[in-house]
A and B are shown apart, each in its own frame.
Chain A
Amino acid sequence: DTGVSQNPRHKITKRGQNVTFRCDPISEHNRLYWYRQTLGQGPEFLTYFQNEAQLEKSRLLSDRFSAERPKGSFSTLEIQRTEQGDSAMYLCASSLGSRLSGNGYTFGSGTRLTVV
């Protein structure tokens, strides 16, 4: 297993276009998270899945954003009608949920989105 994989690594799009990012988590991890990070800031939580169920969504996730994890494996994050303010690094992480609260997350290297 090569860790959490995110594609593409970079995406440049024109304002108003739709974009979709993909995340492949570590295969045995049942939890998957999406974060957004802008320059100089820490990552901000967007949403999280346990298996295929989306259990929590941040208020940051406007109606232009949608995330899916159809078979409880890979996930996609789609942004519709992109705006310049959507320019950021989009990070995916996965973890193995268990009774222990301490399980660490494994993050991918992110997808850097630039909206021009």
Chain B
Amino acid sequence: DAKTTQPNSMESNEEEPVHLPCNHSTISGTDYIHWYRQLPSQGPEYVIHGLTSNVNNRMASLAIAEDRKSSTLILHRATLRDAAVYYCILRNKAAGNKLTFGGGTRVLVKP
């Protein structure tokens, strides 16, 4: 599976935007970029995914670089409930259907 690189941790203030970077320089043309988050004592939760174009949903936005070698998950207004570990994952149907998690970014939201 193609590898992703994320910072270990980030801090944000409540109600401010959070930009979570992810590098995936070895991404292939058929890899989808998925983001999941894991709150304490819970299983991971799907956040968003994209292929080439930027994507928005009720939870977040995903900005994908033109060369697709990096992407950024944007939480528009962080709340204390957004404190979690955020995982950036590349998913390729040809390589099977499993998600391969890295270490993720631990997000701390300060009141």
Contacts and interface: CB of A to CB of B under 8 A. Distances in A.
B100 A102 contact: no
Nearest to A6: B43
Contacts of A55: 96-97
A107 B43 contact: yes
A42 B103 contact: yes
Interface stretch (B21-29, B64-72, B75-83, B86-94): B86-94
Interface stretch (A14-22, A43-51, A64-72, A78-86): A43-51
A102 B98 CA distance: 12
Contact of A48 (B36, B41, B43, B98): B98
Interface in A28-45: 31, 33, 35, 41-45
A107 B44 CA distance: 6
A101 B100 contact: no
B99 to A, nearest CB: 6
A104 B104 CA distance: 17
Interface residues of B, number: 26
B101 A48 contact: no
Given A56-B96, A101-B91, A104-B34, A43 B46 contact: no
Interface in A92-112: 93, 95, 97, 101-102, 104-110
A102 B44 contact: no
Contacts of B93: 101
B103 A41 contact: yes
B7 interface: no
18 contacts: A41-B103, A42-B85, A42-B87, A42-B103, A43-B44, A44-B101, A45-B98, A48-B96, A48-B97, A56-B96, A56-B97, A91-B44, A93-B44, A97-B97, A102-B34, A105-B99, A108-B43, A109-B43
